[in-house]
Structure 1
Amino acid sequence: MAVCRRVSARLLGPSAPFAPRQQARWLSLHEYQSQSLLEKYDVPVPSGKIVQTAQDARKVVEELGGKCIISPQILHSLQKNASSPPISVDTPDQGYQTASKILDNGPSGSQRPPVQEIYVSQALEPTEEWSLAMTIDRENYFPVILVSKTKGTDVDSEVTSFPFAISQGITPELLSRVSKHMTGNSPPSQSSTASLARILNGLFKIFTDKDGTNLEITRLARTATDGSFTCLSTAFTFDDAAARRQPELFALRDVSQDVPEEIEAARYGIVYVRMDGNIGNVVNGAGLAMATNDAIGLYGGRSANFLDAGGQATKETMLKAFGIIMRDERVTTIFVNIYGGKYLVCD
């Protein structure tokens, strides 16, 4: 099963048979933005606030009762390059000290700019935690719910898939299957079923209303009091092609954490996506660019980028495309694949 490649490696694990990176841009939200979106769709989340200073962090920890989670706000797509685990604090003073350290130095081991915002949320004591994602099975052309139980900070290697029809949404039968899987042998309580129904229905509405590609609840907690489920942390991505349909959503984009080359390329009508290899490529046309990346991978290479210079590329466009790639110190070779003639004069 080839699900959306934007599904976090934290859920699917390193052995998932995916290409290095999906050849498209997407919108990633910060955790506090995703949590706020869930709350608007009546999905249970802990109380929390976003802060920019250690003093404000102390104040929020005090407001929330003392026991809180401090989460540096780094876009989920960047977290492979910046360790940013949430930190538990018990007092306002601990909140102040932790926030000061994060805001002064950035997350431990980070090569990214310092963290500018911290999400302070109420701490819960769950009996168990799960990871749950609503995404797309691109091989079979249907949406799917992926569920895996967590063990501490690790995710169980066994991921259970629940495909469903986009036209039917979250049916009682689908809810029952997911609920039984997550509650085990014991019969699901009314509160656990009701809270899970709110979560799945809320995710589905966001998925369809907002053009979601991967809505992942990285920590879905089952509480000890009544067995209900609460979303502790999230990582959401959305289809970048939906920018015109979703102006309010895309206004949330944090361009300060976008890849600078992608922003620069977009100003010149070039679609550029940074990848993980060392072979740069310049191509005109998205389909040909994807085929070029696939061919490079098929013969054992690794692309440093996806680049679509467009069907009406000009001399200036091509100079800019080469300039962006040649500034990338990882690139050792540039592969040029231009479909010329009728659509693009190459002389």
Structure 2
Amino acid sequence: MPGALRSIFKVSHVRGCLFKAQVRRLSLLEYHSHKLLKDFDIPVPRGFVVETPEEAREVVAKINAPSVVKAQVLAGGRGKGKYESDGQGGVRIMSSGIEAFENASRMIGYYLETKQTPPGGLLVKKLYIYKAVDIAQEYYVALTFDRDRSMPVLLISNVGGVDIESNADRLEHYWFDMTHGITDEIVAYIQAQLGFSDQEMGVISHILRQMVKLFREKDATLLELNPLVRTCEGQFVCLDAKFTFDNSARFRQAEIFGLEERLPDEEDEYEASQAGLSYVRLNGDIGNLVNGAGLAMATNDLVSLYGGKCANFLDVGGGATRQTLLKAFEILNRDTRIRGILINIYGGIVRCDMIAESIVAAAKQLKGFKVPVVIRLQGTNSDKGLELIAKSALDNVIVEPDFELAAEKIVNATKHSHQRG
């Protein structure tokens, strides 16, 4: 996400742990975004998606002109990124079919690392190719929500492309309401600030209003055109786009959500969300299973206080069932980073005896816990739950009713546990 938008999309710190808001938003690959823009009469190049070097050669030979070849991954900064294969970026200009074949052979099936990818990069499976454009001017245009003002905002700048983050102070902000959209008054302000001619402003205002239409009709949370360019012939074309959509709108945006592609480290998060669990992957080696976001954050605090690092934020919520808890254990069990698990439950709506039954069932299903597990049960039916766990005589399990001692014990147990591989 460009630095200019970070003040709008907020994250919060919890003593050494960084939490992103647990609201999954669909992101689209570039070629899907271009198709959507075209459907809303927003100008984009005629592009082609390829999955093999041979297809890349055929497409560039057919275009018969310098062509842009782009790696398709869910991350920005591709042009300045580096491929593991040849150290070059993920956006390249090709002049011939042979050149396209040679480059595609080092792009498809290899990892591209950018400042927005996980360490090691993302695997590239597809390339997007279109005829190169002679650029006279680059612009940055985005629609998103300003949470502080509780209304949508248009951001626009005559500095676009890869340099937008270092020029965030040149972004113009125009707040608007969804009922009236981009008004003539806003159009006049934009023209005055950015110096568009009347003819150019006619095209720009059409693009902006179509963006608002797309934003509203498709339940978007971010529409970002970067860059929107003016060509040497005076035409406006969107060369790259990033969209995100509200996951709550999945039920009425089935076509768009059918295009969903997830990053490797989002698979567990997605699977958890389908089971009604709130899961966020962190960078430690202690797995947490907790009910309630507040208790989860407090648990992470105490683990950090005693020198441990959490591998996840996993909130089973107040509506936890045996099935959802088994899914939670399944997610934790396959995370090879985890060297210990802390189960911290305060039973209010959730019954501790049901939690205990799920723990015992999970242990049987997994043929025992391979890492130390510290269990703290307090609240509704906690006595019954602890009795059940005691009778089950589970190996590798420590029961500790005190919150602080439970955190301390899992940290100490983890230090003596062998990491799984």
TM range (shorter): 0.7 to 0.9
Instruction: Output the amino acid matched with 1:94.
Output: E
Residues 273 and 206 of structure 1: is their aligned pair in 2 closer, same or farther, counting only changes over 3 Å?
farther
The structure whose Rg is larger is 2
> Structure 2 vs 1, CA of residues 306 and 200 (structure 1 numbering), >3 Å: closer, same or farther?
farther
Deviations 1:230-280 (A, max 9, x none): 210011110011111111111111257572212332453323233567775
* Preserved CA contact (<8 Å) 2:286 2:339: yes
Contact 2:28 2:244 in 1 (8 A): yes
The equivalent residue for 2:128 is 119
Using the size of structure 1 for normalisation, the TM-score is: 0.80
- The count of aligned residue pairs is 329
- Aligned 8 A contact 2:68 2:129 in 1: yes
Amino acid at match of 1:93: I
| Residue deviations 1:177-223 (CA, integer Å, cap 9, x gap) | 2333333xxxx224421221222112111110010011111211122
Report what 2:176 is aligned to.
Answer: 164
Is 2:142 the counterpart of 1:133? yes
Aligned with 2:138: secondary structure?
Answer: strand
* Secondary structure of residue in 1 paired with 2:106: helix
Instruction: Mark the CA change 1:15 to 1:317 in structure 2 (over 3 Å): closer, same or farther.
Output: closer
Aligned to 2:101: 96
Matched, 1:260 2:264: no
Tell me: CA distance 1:345–1:291, structure 2 relative to 1, closer, same or farther (3 Å).
closer
Which position in structure 1 is the counterpart of 2:91?
A: 86
Maintained 8 Å contact 2:45/2:130: yes
Report the Cα distance in structure 1 between the residues aligned to 2:350 and 2:345, rounded to whole angstroms: 8
Summarize the Cα distance change of 1:332–1:12 in structure 2 as closer, same or farther, 3 Å threshold: farther
- Residues 24 and 101 (structure 1 numbering): CA distance in 2 closer, same or farther, change over 3 Å? same
Deviation at 1:35, TM superposition (A): 0.6
Name the residue aligned to 2:351. Answer: 345
Structure 1 counterpart of 2:28: 29
Partner of 2:2: 9
The change in CA–CA distance for 1:121 and 1:137 in structure 2 (over 3 A counts) is same
Q: Which amino acid counterpart does residue 50 of structure 2 have in structure 1? A: V
Computed over aligned residues only, the root mean square deviation of the Cα atoms, in angstroms, reads: 3.5
Q: Report if aligned partners of 2:8, 2:146 keep a CA contact under 8 Å in 1.
A: no
Q: CA deviation at 1:161?
A: 1.6
Aligned to 1:27, what secondary structure does the other structure show?
strand
Q: Give yes or no for contact 1:290–1:306 (8 Å, CA) kept in 2.
A: no
Where does 1:183-198 land on structure 2 (aligned, <5 Å)? 183=195, 188-198=196-206
State the SS of the aligned residue for 1:76. coil
CA distance in 2, matches of 1:16, 1:146: 14
Unaligned runs of 5+ in 2: 13-17, 83-88, 354-421
Matches within 5 A, 1:296-335: 305-325=312-332, 328=335
Q: Give, as a single letter, the amino acid of the residue that structure 2 aligns with 1:243.
A: R
Distance 1:295 1:137 in 2: 31
Q: How far is the alpha carbon of 1:33 from its aligned partner?
A: 0.2
Q: Which residue of 2 aligns with 1:289?
A: 293
Amino acid at match of 2:223: L
Structure 1, unaligned runs of 5 or more: 1-7
Counterparts in 2 of 1:113 and 1:339: CA distance versus 1, 3 Å: same
1: CA distance, partners of 2:33 / 2:91: 16
CA distance change for structure 1 residues 271 and 27 in 2, over 3 Å: closer, same or farther? Answer: same
Distance in 2 of aligned mates of 1:51 and 1:124:
20
Structure 1 residue 14: Cα displacement: 9.8
Do 2:3 and 2:168's aligned partners in 1 also have CA atoms closer than 8 Å?
no
Q: Secondary structure at the match of 1:197?
A: helix
Distance in 2 separating the partners of 1:145 and 1:115: 32
Conserved 8 A contact 2:282-2:313: yes
Amino acid at match of 2:352: C
Residue 249 in structure 1 maps to residue 248 in structure 2? no
Q: Check 1:290–1:23 CA distance in 2 against 1; reply closer, same or farther (3 A cut).
A: farther
Q: Distance in 2 between matches of 1:260 and 1:321?
A: 13
SS at match of 2:352: coil
The two structures have a TM-score, normalised by structure 2, of 0.67
Contact between 2:145 and 2:221, CA under 8 Å: does it hold in 1? yes
Superposition deviation, residue 121 in structure 1: 1.6
Cα shift at 1:12: 4.0
Task: Tell me which amino acid in the other structure corresponds to 2:178.
Answer: I
